[in-house]
Amino acid sequence: MAAVGAVQVHCPECDVALPIAMVLKSPTREGDKLIVNVEPDLTDAVAHVWTHEPAE
Ligand SMILES: [Zn+2]
């Protein structure tokens, strides 16, 4: 996987900016087109949101 960029979202709880890496997945071929898949890596954002969850 390769990070190809980043976007930012704001946490709904505390409004902090959360960077989300855009990760390049393995390209696939469809007919004569090369399909490049870019997916957000939400790991860091999810980890942050979890800090707002009440501890059990
Ligand atoms: Zn937050």
pLDDT mean for each 10 residues of the chain (56 residues):
79 93 90 91 92 84
User: How many angstroms separate the alpha carbon of residue 45 from the centre of ligand 1?
Assistant: 9
- Domain spans of the chain? 2-50
User: How many angstroms separate the alpha carbon of residue 6 from the centre of ligand 1?
Assistant: 18
Cβ atoms of 26 and 48 closer than 8 Å: no
User: How many angstroms separate the alpha carbon of residue 17 from the centre of ligand 1?
Assistant: 8
User: How many angstroms separate the alpha carbon of residue 53 from the centre of ligand 1?
Assistant: 10
Contacts 24+ apart (CB under 8 A), 19-23: 19/44, 20/44, 20/45
Sign of torsion over alpha carbons 23, 39, 4, 20: negative
Overall pTM > 0.75: no
Cβ atoms of 19 and 46 closer than 8 Å: no
